[in-house]
Chain A
């Protein structure tokens, strides 16, 4: 389903690698392995280099996103207000590390540098909702609310697996 994206670019042009990666991510919300292989062939670069670029930039992700995205602020103000503890509380509750997605695909945990809400530090967002002046104690109950909530988002687009 992503084959049309190649129409906008010239084959073997290494310069179009990043725009191509962005286009694919726009479709699937992440970069499926099969798409990476196709892009590597299209721009005539080894897969290792394409993988290197995809892992270098924070904007690209190689795993599908969870249903809910948690962003924990680790900016200066939040750091002073012990956001490290908040982060590890979430990690312990969900049993994943920052950057990972839970097995049931309910949550993806991300660390961000500043979300511009320093006045209510330490702060995190879940999807579009802000949680300020957080304490470690309230983390489990907040997360529980989301894990119970039924799926609101549309089902993630499944990548077309083309290994012919």
Chain B
């Protein structure tokens, strides 16, 4: 412990803490821009500077450790002046288009400008000009709006360990970009969108699909339906100032009905369907000597990662389509037949917490008779914009019910949105498939939580099933190395590209509130707890679907409609 004085207040702090961490305990706020908790401090933006007695210049508090007897001023006129100048300089090299910007009112640069009362343009000069990269189906990169804080770079390199973008050139021409300034679509990027969540401005953002959805809704010949991913219902409320982890399923359903969707379905239904297929596939692989370990395939970011980096182990990835693609496929086959609607008239919209899902929905192999399984994907943020645009007062909406038959779901499906959830849901059904008995204890605490790699062993009829949950694509390398060497002890591995799983997906509300992962996770487990049926094989609608259409999991028909194939993208990228 060391004692220091901050703004004449005596503060006790742990050794090795930065000044920024130390001031938090005494209710003092220091603004930050380039700082990201738990990542390497770079001191790049200088907005967090403070005065330290005995030092000539101002000190960046995010990168400077405390010491015994230190005397710090965080709010002196000199500090305030320096910070304001930094903000003014940043603003002058930033497009002045806040009114028409997608991050208007949720922009850290805008907040700082307001906080430091910037009221005039004092440093008018040349400003950088860069083209917008619209090459990827999921994301846009607008370097003109970039303030070079480097948060996206650190998230991409240190958390996700992809390293698709980095600083290049220097001085005034500095830019965060891909190698050779090529499009994101031909870079190492997996489009997870974690950089969007880290970006303080709109330099990184999703590619919007609102227009095509609105057009489909206006088209009288289209039967436009929508489905909601498990993770969206526990995060969307945050955009309406509801506490973290509020479950807004009911309002969401009503809101979507009011937007004009003919039917509001639940991706949770097809999450149950996924489990039926995936658990059966796992059991078959174990019994018939198929490629083990088997990896989950729900996360399109993870799938893209394997295709780009480890095509050698593609046979280890489950062939199941991801839940929202399964839902789309069932809608355009079974449902269209049952309701007598031509599949060409069905327009399927997915509300997803994810940016890669946009890329996934454009994969050409994901179609039924050349009609794409999913026609458009909106992120959580885009849906909120759509609600606002349509005059829907979300907080006042009554609770609605999903339409059936693709709206029923079990508790196992609800937890698909969090790291460990797919594994837990699969175990509940796989246990039954192997042993013929139901699990007594449904909760697998070992696979829950925010740890990077979670593992457990489950005894099923004498078979020790070794499982592993990889939380965040940055943690996957070690596991993959073992699989490639043939030394992996696991049977079944779940991978979600985003840290925490879909609840922290690249399409989710943007803010830096602490504990967002834990609270969103808790909300999903709460939904699971409240469900009468908590096992996918107990979903009555899924049972009927098999009886009327697919006959049984992994049947020939199921393979045709619910399973897919993967491609080696490594070579293609090398040539790009």
Q: CB within 8 Å of B: which residues of A?
A: 33, 36-37, 45-52, 55-56, 62, 163
Contacts and interface: CB of A to CB of B under 8 A. Distances in A.
Nearest to A51: B179
Interface stretch (B157-165, B231-239, B456-464, B553-561): B157-165
A36 B178 CA distance: 13
A52 B162 contact: no
Interface of B: 157, 162-170, 177-180, 187-188, 574-575
Contacts of B162: 46
B169 A47 contact: no
B167 A47 contact: no
B166 A46 contact: yes
Given A55-B169, A56-B169, A46 B180 contact: no
Given A33-B180, A163-B574, A163-B575, A48 B170 contact: no
A49 B163 contact: yes
B188 A47 contact: yes
B163 A55 contact: no
Contacts of A62: 180
A55 B165 CA distance: 14
A49 B180 contact: no
A56 B177 CA distance: 13
Given A52-B168, A163-B574, 7 more contacts: A37-B574, A46-B166, A48-B188, A51-B166, A56-B167, A56-B169, A56-B170
B157 to A, nearest CB: 7
A48 B166 contact: yes
9 contacts: A46-B164, A46-B188, A47-B179, A48-B165, A49-B157, A49-B166, A51-B168, A55-B169, A163-B575
Contacts of B168: 48, 51-52, 55-56
Contacts of A47: 163, 179, 188
A46 B157 contact: yes
Contact of B163 (A33, A37, A46, A163): A46
A52 B574 contact: no
A17 to B, nearest CB: 13
Nearest to B171: A56
Given A55-B169, A56-B168, A48 B574 contact: no
Contacts of A163: 574-575
A52 B178 CA distance: 9
A85 B510 CA distance: 49
Contacts of A50: 179
A42 to B, nearest CB: 15
Nearest to A47: B179
Contacts of A36: 179
A33 B575 CA distance: 11
Nearest to A62: B180
B170 to A, nearest CB: 5
A7 to B, nearest CB: 24
A26 B509 CA distance: 50
A46 B190 CA distance: 14
A154 to B, nearest CB: 28
Contacts of B170: 55-56
A102 B170 CA distance: 24
Given A46-B162, A47-B188, A52 B575 contact: no
A51 B188 CA distance: 13
Given A163-B574, A163-B575, A48 B169 contact: no
Contacts of A52: 166-168
A47 B162 CA distance: 10
A50 B169 CA distance: 11
Contacts of B169: 55-56
Closest 6 A-B residue pairs measured CB to CB?
A46-B163, A48-B166, A51-B179, A55-B168, A52-B166, A47-B179
Nearest to B153: A48
Contacts of A55: 168-170
Nearest to B162: A46
A19 to B, nearest CB: 20
A97 to B, nearest CB: 12
Contacts of B575: 163
Contacts of B180: 33, 51, 62
A36 B168 CA distance: 14
A49 B178 CA distance: 9
B42 to A, nearest CB: 14
A95 B166 CA distance: 31
A47 B188 CA distance: 9
A163 to B, nearest CB: 6
A19 B164 CA distance: 23
A97 B168 CA distance: 19
